[in-house]
Structure 1
Amino acid sequence: MAQYFVVHPQNPQPRLLKQASQFLADGGLVAVPTDSSYAVVARLDDKSAADALRRLRGLDERHHLTLLCRDLAEIGHFARVDNRQYRFLKLATPGPWTFILEATREVPRRVSHPSRKTIGIRVPDHKVTLDLLEAAASPLMSTTLIPEGEDDPLNDAQQILERYGHQLAAVIDGGACPLTPTTVIDLSGAEPVVTRRGGGDPSVLGLD
């Protein structure tokens, strides 16, 4: 059964997040609250963990896994960002946005889209997630925790433990979080394209 950590949503206990990060280092999957519902995260360089993420959600290899980063500088290490794209990122991060960008060679091929070589990438605006990223000292691959065959993400950590306790290494209970998904902006082409509307208002970025 998964380890269950109860943390303060605005001031999470570093000791507990350090313990949770060790489960990631050991190749486990961890459920964590974000600014757009609960997500499941895993270590970026772990092939078996990437496969486990997709099995948990029932996803194929063409579904973009999202890379959670600590800041803009870290995004630039894993995605090719020109001046135009950087302006969008600077306006929107941290926050409930996911940007599709061309992946650099630092991103394992199993994580990026197999034909387009792109990656979903974002900086979440949630203290628990950001502190877990610091404890892990690395970006984490993630996917929203939406049960296979359902439309809505899970928002209750206890329910996540009951349903996925034998597939996850740990669950971090940081209380309820928004149930609105991220807004997805594809910046990999000549013009930005809003591919999903969610928590971020595209008009903030000058997009319809």
Structure 2
Amino acid sequence: MLLQLHPENPNARHLKTIVECLRNGGVIIYPTDTVYGMGCDIFQPKAIERICRIKQIDPKKAHFSFICSDLSHLSDYAKSVDTPVFRMLKKALPGPYTFILPASRQVPKMLKTKRDTVGIRVPDNNICRTIVQELGNPVMSTSLPVEHYVEEYTDPEIIHEKFGKIVDIVVDGGMGGITFSTVIDLTGPEPEVIREGAGSLELIG
């Protein structure tokens, strides 16, 4: 199913369909402020397993991140964040960054890495943030099941043609990008850039 959502004013009926799909263990493809991502409700283990099968990855080795609507749920999923780190997050988010933080107990076991960390993402994209708001908890985020993002994967209609049969809903939020988020590890004494992507590094200096 391909459902169109207006970036500024998402259609309430379509939004309800997407949220119900997630609550029922569905898998969706949706826009972010970088590339189109694939995800599900973080509290639906069967949906997480399904995504791992689609991507042919071992759940224990996967690196999924959480899409949050804002920083208000940060303390739910990440262990105590000190003031300088919180300031950095506040400055950079919403934006094209994934911040790796120590995971709290509320992070489902399946989604914790071996290092007991979690990747937190607050994209500068109204559609995915609204979906998360309506759902009431984060959406798990991973890349599409492709080797490389190329120009055609910026078009939701082509994405639907290619992947519509293996997911429940493709959310059409307009053209996407092909550059990933910048990944920054905040679990050590100093911020460490794991992957340089769309986000400017000046914000975390």
Moved more, 97-106 or 151-160: 151-160
Distance 1:58 1:88 in 2: 35
Identity, in percent, stands at: 37
Ranges in structure 2 where 5+ consecutive residues have no aligned partner: none
Q: Secondary structure at the match of 1:106?
A: coil
Q: Would you tell me which structure has more strand in proportion to its own residues?
A: 1
Q: Secondary structure at the match of 2:101?
A: strand
Q: Deviations over 1:57-107 (max 9, x none)?
A: 233322210101111111221012222321221111100000011100000
In the alignment, is residue 4 of structure 1 matched against residue 2 of structure 2?
A: yes
Structure 2 partner of 1:41: 39
Structure 2 partner of 1:152: 149
Q: Secondary structure at the match of 2:69?
A: coil
Structure 2 partner of 1:128: 127
Distance 2:145 2:34 in 1: 12
TM-score, normalised with respect to structure 2: 0.93
4+ runs deviating over 4 angstroms? none
Q: Which amino acid aligns with 1:137?
A: G
Q: Secondary structure at the match of 1:144?
A: coil
Structure 2 partner of 1:74: 73
Q: Secondary structure at the match of 2:110?
A: coil
Map 1:43-192 onto structure 2 (within 5 A).
43-60=41-58, 61-80=60-79, 81-113=81-113, 115-147=114-146, 150-152=147-149, 154-192=153-191
Check 1:146–1:166 CA distance in 2 against 1; reply closer, same or farther (3 A cut).
Answer: closer
Moved more, 90-99 or 138-147: 138-147
Distance 2:125 2:139 in 1: 14
Ranges in structure 1 where 5+ consecutive residues have no aligned partner: none
CA RMSD of aligned residues (A): 1.3
Q: Secondary structure at the match of 2:154?
A: coil
In the alignment, is residue 202 of structure 1 matched against residue 162 of structure 2?
A: no
Distance 1:107 1:79 in 2: 8
Q: Secondary structure at the match of 2:134?
A: helix
Contact 1:97 1:185 survives alignment (8 Å): yes
Q: CA deviation at 1:204?
A: 1.8
Contact 1:67 1:122 survives alignment (8 Å): yes
TM-score, normalised with respect to structure 1: 0.92
